[in-house]
Amino acid sequence: MQSHDEIRVRGARVNNLRGIDVAIPKRQLTVFTGVSGSGKSSLVFGTIAAESQRLINETYPAFVQSLMASPARPDVDALENLSAAIVVDQERMGANARSTVGTATDVNNLMRLLWSRLGTPEVGPSYHFSFNTPQGMCPGCEGTGRVSAIDESLIVDTDLSLSEGAITAPNFGVGTWYWKGYAEHPDLDPDLPLRDFSADQWRTFMYQEPTKIHVSGINMTYEGLIPRIRRMFLAPDKEPGQKHIKEFAERIATFRECPECGGTRLNEPARTAQIDGVTLPEALGWQITDLRAWAERLRDSATSVDVAPVIASLVDLLGSLAEVGLGYLSLDRESGTLSGGEAQRVKMVRHLGSALSDVTYVFDEPTVGLHPHDIDRMVDLLQRLRDKGNTVLVVEHKPQVIERADHIVDIGPGAGAQGGRVMFTGDVDGLRASGTITGDHLSTRHVRRTPLRTPTGALEIRGATTHNLRGVDVDIPLGVLTVITGVAGSGKSSLIHGSIADGSMSGAGTLRVVDQSPIRGSIRSNPATYTGLLDPIRAAFAKANKVKPALFSANSAGACPNCKGLGIVYTDLGQLAGVSRTCEVCEGRRFTDEVLRYTLHGLNISEVLQLPVADAAQVFHAGNPGRILSRLLSVGLGYLRLGQPLSTLSGGERQRVKLAIQLGEGPGSYVLDEPTTGLHMADIEAMLVMLDTLVDEGNTVIVIEHSLPVMAHADHIIDVGPGAGHDGGLVVFEGTPAELAAADTLTGRHLAAYLA
């Protein structure tokens, strides 16, 4: 092979990588395998993609660079033949109400263009159909579709006067600049209790539209308290930084659908114009597969030449959305409500139609959330990207994907310090014969041998109608392992999470829902703080050294003042992704030299926070710390360092940390959403052992999963389908794995093939 036909990595040492060398063929589909924590992401994202993006940044003029995040060069001796890398990951998309599936994929641009050309009565230039422009947005809700009502009793105390602190909202304290605007307003008496204000004064105080007034010798804009608070705390694009501000905003406001536009976000002319009797908001609310069929009919009947290319592009883009398995979504679905897997597939759509070639695309487990039935199509898409002349790098665990790779890089053998080496490179036949953990698992099938457990009762779901569910009645057996299956969008999450939320589920007892959602304040949290492990360790440090426990906490005088005990410093860049660097004062050790002199079992507090869970379990084996650490071990997180920020964990790792703190808390029901995310086949075996232990201790375990080994391991399976969106929403099968394998459903056929 010519050297320019491969990306060469030499001496990569990011995170746990052991100075590895690896060559990756260009314009091929390469899959990176290995147990969870072995170093796949460190190689693919942390080294190759990071360096490619850094090199691109370097090509910008210096003044542009100074405005951009400039991450440090990854720890690697040499990287040759890189091409521009595009990372398609599972980061959830922003919770900004303005971002929808339609805006994120640019389909809405085409929709607007279509309605502006063909809609009757005519409205004019296409941006009038956009809820993101002043000309198109509903004035009632500024294009968000929702309005907030403010609970007045939470922002003012009418028994007090302004001088006595009648405004109780944060930032309006007596003497503050904001307070002065009201207290010094010529029409308002600062010493009169608010309840004694005249109707006019009350209106001025609470509701006045912005006007110029003269206060403390300067001109300022005066605005009633309600509009001001709305703008300060509740503006649609506002992402309040401080915790107390955010909590305040959540407390005072209740959101409901905008009465003016009925939630459609558009103003009157834009929302009522029709094509063949269909308005734009109606079409945006349709399932994508239906919209595509409608657009195809329009294409075949349209007479005007100038709209033909618009319709053709629309049909194409909607086709791509259906191809990545998102045909059940609607364009008006808010991006923030998508799962990580769905978000990644939405991002993928942007690239399928791209004319770029010779790009390196990097995917993080693109099959997350996909049924075996959808996985083959996903691999087709990855191959299509490759066939356009791109290099496609994929971190994946599923045999269905590994088997279709052109090239495989297997990292291992273990996790953390036990991993970080290249175990195998080559094709799938080579991998099978390689004797690596991955190779061995490819050819073995998980077959459950134990007899099925007997249920101790049933948890009942009655009349479930969340989202697409069609009044589902189903029993979930108690005291056993139940797996909920079905294609993406069939209604699995709606059945479980929706029924918990709206009360159509009963009999679950203590219910523990363990999901993959981000953990609040996770930059400051780490496994040690989050699991409660750090408190007893701090106490032990204090006792051993006869000092106060607080000295060892990140918000104390003992912490490094520069990084506040984080060891890293974050630069917040507003719109751009922030960057972090090691704190230059403590060099990442988090605490002052004085604190670092105190030791426990021969380690200082910084060294303790550097320990991987598995090593820490050797040091702290007794009491509470021992119990917490053994739970972290049992969920397969032995490689995590105690002080690693939770913000650096993947969704799957986050879920396992959450699971660890809920284990052993007494009998109850556990709900897990795709717990095999990020897990290698070998890790799945360990996860199943842990789930078995949970059930054998008297718990009920309900798992939403697509993984065939997990299905094969279940006592009971509930299959939701038959299709996605409005083609799903029914329970199509309930019974044992063997019965499912014999049943002629989509899931049944895949399970049968797996068990054969």
Q: Using an 8 Å Cβ cutoff, are 727 and 706 in contact? A: no
How many residues of this chain bind ligand ADP (CB under 6 A)? 33
Q: Using an 8 Å Cβ cutoff, are 410 and 425 in contact? A: yes
Q: Of the ranges 103-111, 141-149, 206-214, 641-649, which one interacts with ligand ADP (CB under 6 A)?
A: 641-649
Q: Of the ranges 78-86, 115-123, 634-642, 686-694, which one interacts with ligand ADP (CB under 6 A)?
A: 634-642
Q: What is the dihedral of CA 220, 224, 228, 230, to 10 degrees?
A: -160
Q: How far, in Å, CA of 676 to CA of 632, rounded? A: 16
CB of 541 to ligand ADP, least distance (A): 23
CB of 602 to ligand ADP, least distance (A): 23
Applying CB under 6 A, does 340 fall inside the site for ligand ADP? no
Nearest residue (CB) to ligand ADP, 190 versus 285: 285
Q: Which of 473, 472, 464, 470 is nearest to 498 (CA)?
A: 464
Choice from 76, 284, 483, 640 touching ligand ADP (CB under 6 A): 640
Question: How many C-beta atoms lie closer than 10 Å to residue 584's C-beta?
Answer: 10
Q: How far, in Å, CA of 518 to CA of 329, rounded? A: 23
What track of x and - describes contact with ligand ADP for positions 405 through 444 (by CB under 6 A)?
Answer: ----------xx----------------------------
Phi and psi at 442, nearest 5°, equal: -65, -35
Question: How many C-beta atoms lie closer than 10 Å to residue 51's C-beta?
Answer: 20
CB of 647 to ligand ADP, least distance (A): 9
Q: Which of 649, 650, 664, 660 is nearest to 694 (CA)?
A: 664
Nearest residue (CB) to ligand ADP, 184 versus 727: 727
Q: Going by C-beta distance under 8 Å and a sequence separation of 6 or more, which residues neighbour residue 667?
A: 509, 510, 697, 698, 699
Q: Using an 8 Å Cβ cutoff, are 143 and 132 in contact? A: yes
Applying CB under 6 A, does 39 fall inside the site for ligand ADP? yes
Q: Under DSSP, is residue 519 helix (H, G, I), strand (E, B) or coil?
A: coil
Choice from 90, 108, 335, 468 touching ligand ADP (CB under 6 A): 468
Residues 677-736 that bind ligand ADP (CB under 6 A): 720, 725
Q: Of the ranges 48-56, 484-492, 584-592, 730-738, which one interacts with ligand ADP (CB under 6 A)?
A: 484-492
Residues 349-408 that bind ligand ADP (CB under 6 A): none
Choice from 467, 564, 627, 749 touching ligand ADP (CB under 6 A): 467
Applying CB under 6 A, does 344 fall inside the site for ligand ADP? no
CB of 369 to ligand ADP, least distance (A): 6
By a kind-dependent CB cut-off of 5 to 8 A, residue 467 interacts, out of ligand ADP, Zn ion, none, with ligand ADP
Peptide bond into 71 cis (omega under 30): no
Q: Of the ranges 24-32, 149-157, 269-277, 554-562, which one interacts with Zn ion (CB under 5 A)?
A: 554-562
Q: Give, rounded to a whole angstrom, the gap between the first and last alpha carbons of the chain.
A: 39
Nearest residue (CB) to ligand ADP, 37 versus 439: 37
CB of 127 to ligand ADP, least distance (A): 26
What track of x and - describes contact with Zn ion for positions 691 through 730 (by CB under 5 A)?
Answer: ----------------------------------------
Q: What number of CA atoms fall less than 13 Å from residue 544's CA on the CB side?
A: 17
Choice from 37, 325, 372, 651 touching ligand ADP (CB under 6 A): 37
Nearest residue (CB) to Zn ion, 138 versus 481: 138
Amino acid at 19: G
Choice from 133, 425, 648, 745 touching ligand ADP (CB under 6 A): 648
Nearest residue (CB) to ligand ADP, 97 versus 329: 329
Nearest residue (CB) to Zn ion, 138 versus 611: 138
Q: Classify the C-alpha dihedral 39-44-48-52 as positive or negative.
A: negative
Long-range Cβ contact pairs of 19-23 (< 8 A, separation 24 or more):
19/77, 20/420, 20/421, 20/422, 21/422, 22/409, 22/422, 22/425, 23/425
Applying CB under 6 A, does 329 fall inside the site for ligand ADP? yes
Q: Of the ranges 128-136, 559-567, 613-621, 636-644, which one interacts with ligand ADP (CB under 6 A)?
A: 636-644
Q: Of the ranges 188-196, 237-245, 327-335, 689-697, which one interacts with ligand ADP (CB under 6 A)?
A: 327-335
Report how far apart, in Å, the C-alpha atoms of 676 and of each of 467, 527, 687, 705 are.
Answer: 25, 20, 8, 8
CB of 199 to ligand ADP, least distance (A): 42
- Written as six digits, the tokens of 183 are 């207290």
Exposure of 352 by Cβ count < 10 A (0-12 exposed, 13-18 middle, 19+ buried)? Answer: middle
By a kind-dependent CB cut-off of 5 to 8 A, residue 489 interacts, out of ligand ADP, Zn ion, none, with ligand ADP
Report how far apart, in Å, the C-alpha atoms of 251 and of each of 8, 169, 248 are.
Answer: 54, 11, 5
What track of x and - describes contact with ligand ADP for positions 115 through 154 (by CB under 6 A)?
Answer: ----------------------------------------
Nearest residue (CB) to Zn ion, 246 versus 564: 564
Q: Using an 8 Å Cβ cutoff, are 740 and 751 in contact? A: yes
Helix residue spans in 470-561 (DSSP H): 492-493, 499-502, 527-530, 534-545
Binding residues for ligand ADP, per CB under 6 A?
15-16, 34, 36-42, 328-329, 333, 337, 415-416, 467-468, 486, 488-494, 639-641, 644, 648, 720, 725
Binding residues for Zn ion, per CB under 5 A?
138, 140-141, 258, 260-261, 560, 562-563, 583, 585-586
